[in-house]
Amino acid sequence: MDSSELLPVGRRVAYWRGRRRLSQQVFADRLGRSKSWVDKVERGVRSLDKVSTLRDIAAVLRIDTAVLLGRDARPATAAERVAGVERIRDALSAYEIALGRPAARAVPPADRVVRDVGHAWVQFHHARYPQVVAVLPGLLADVQRVAADDHERSRPLLVEAYRLTASLLVKLGEVDLAWLAADRAMATGAGDPLLVAAATVQLGQVFRASGRARAAVSAALAAAYRTAPPEPDDGGPGELSLCGTLLVQAALAASRRGDDQAVADLLDEAAEMAAQVGEGHDHHRTAFGPTAVDLARTAAALDLGHAGEAVAWHERTTRRDAWRWLPLEHRAAHLVDAARAYLQADDPANAGRVLADADRMAPAEVRHRPATREVLAQVARTRHAPADIIRLATTLGVT
């Protein structure tokens, strides 16, 4: 490791200036700055908070901007992500259930595969997307082999695996492939209202990600009201969590269509169910509860163009203890929404703050999710972007 990598950015500037045998005055002249400005930067008195300035300094020093900022915490390359997605595509292209498994391939123990699927969900909820990408192709193959051996008993396991696949692919911006996984989950669950309802959660996410808001509303509501108990007090927490989550999905889709009244009605109905379920649960991988519903109010208000309202819901909801009980993936994704809300409210400083919080909490949510990288680039381009956000954006090449 080059010793310069251990230095703060100002000291790193001084290090490389010395390596290039430039005096502070000559360096300042080439930058079009004063010698005093250079001295303050190198002593850390003045921060480097503009991407353009960092690039100018790197150009004069004849080094890459990433070298100037240090070489720590590099994300997986785009090529690695594409390769991982292609392996998932190959796994989804296998039709072992319909065509029959080759006799030479042993069926893994079903209880082991159940544990593996559960562990993969835990990894996803901790926003460890590269790890899930790595294990998912083999996991899908194992699940399909188990299902080919005993399809009816394996239907819930298949739906779980396809739901996980769809959720991950939506995160990675692979919407068409996510649609295939969600469709597989729907087809596998057909005839079982709870399995269909669970699969429809991911189908709604896919529809929203692909711009099909009307279809998302229709599918989510159909599944929700098919799952809803005849009387609210009669429903168990699992049914209520699925039904409430589907109402949230419908509300988020309605917000994309600008339907304020539908959004309010659906989220209020979901809130009533959430009050019965309570906080801190994860029935059917939904993390549904009062806090989850109010976080959805942030996203919905944002899509409706009510940035101030979105910020208010964010600040109010994240003060609760129950905020910390939600999965890391859920919290980090919400902080990205909050960053968008602060940007719309013309508050780039707070946008940068919550985005930095998201990166500390769940780095893959920022570094591997295309939608988040776009928000990062927007924040980094603002006039008063925090230095750590500029550094991250430059390192990821999204400036």
**What pLDDT, in 10s, does the model give residues 378-399?**
898 887 788 888 888 887 877 6
CATH number at residue 34: 1.10.260.40
In the chain the first and final C-alpha atoms are separated, in Å, by 26
Mean pLDDT lowest among 24-28, 31-35, 57-61, 208-212 = 57-61
Q: Average pLDDT, stretch 147-175?
A: 92
pLDDT in tens, 342-374: 999 999 999 999 999 999 999 999 988 988 988
CA 213, 215, 220 angle in degrees (round to 5)?
95
Q: Which residue range forms the structural domain that includes residue 211?
A: 191-326
The whole-number pLDDT of residue 219 equals 97
| 3: confidence class by pLDDT, cuts 50, 70, 90 | very low
Q: Is residue 397 in a domain?
A: yes
- The number of folded domains in the chain is 4
Q: Is residue 196 in a domain?
A: yes
User: What whole-number percentage of the chain has pLDDT above 70?
Assistant: 90
The whole-number pLDDT of residue 98 equals 67
Q: Are residues 292 and 356 in the same domain?
A: no
Q: Are residues 294 and 355 in the same domain?
A: no
Distance CA 13, CA 57 (A): 8
Q: Is residue 290 in a domain?
A: yes
- In the block, tokens 């492939």 appear at 177
Mean pLDDT over the full length of the chain: 88
Q: Are residues 167 and 127 in the same domain?
A: yes
Instruction: Reply yes or no on whether the pLDDT at 77 is more than 80.
Output: no
Q: Are residues 222 and 317 in the same domain?
A: yes
Q: Are residues 321 and 208 in the same domain?
A: yes
Q: Are residues 226 and 312 in the same domain?
A: yes
CATH number at residue 276: 1.25.40
In a 10 Å sphere around its CB, with 0-12 CB exposed, 13-18 middle and 19+ buried, how is residue 53 labelled? middle
pLDDT in tens, 7-24: 567 888 888 888 888 999
Q: Is residue 331 in a domain?
A: no
CA 389, 394, 399 angle in degrees (round to 5)?
90
Distance CA 170, CA 162 (A): 12
| 4: confidence class by pLDDT, cuts 50, 70, 90 | very low
Q: Are residues 185 and 111 in the same domain?
A: yes
The whole-number pLDDT of residue 231 equals 73
> Which strand (E) or helix (H) includes residue 141?
helix 129-149
pLDDT in tens, 275-284: 999 999 999 9
The whole-number pLDDT of residue 75 equals 45
Q: Are residues 226 and 340 in the same domain?
A: no
Range among 29-33, 62-66, 292-296, 392-396 rated most confident: 292-296
Q: Are residues 224 and 292 in the same domain?
A: yes
Q: Is residue 30 in a domain?
A: yes
User: Higher model confidence: residue 231 or residue 284?
Assistant: 284
Whole-model pTM above 0.85?
no
Instruction: Reply yes or no on whether the pLDDT at 76 is more than 50.
Output: no
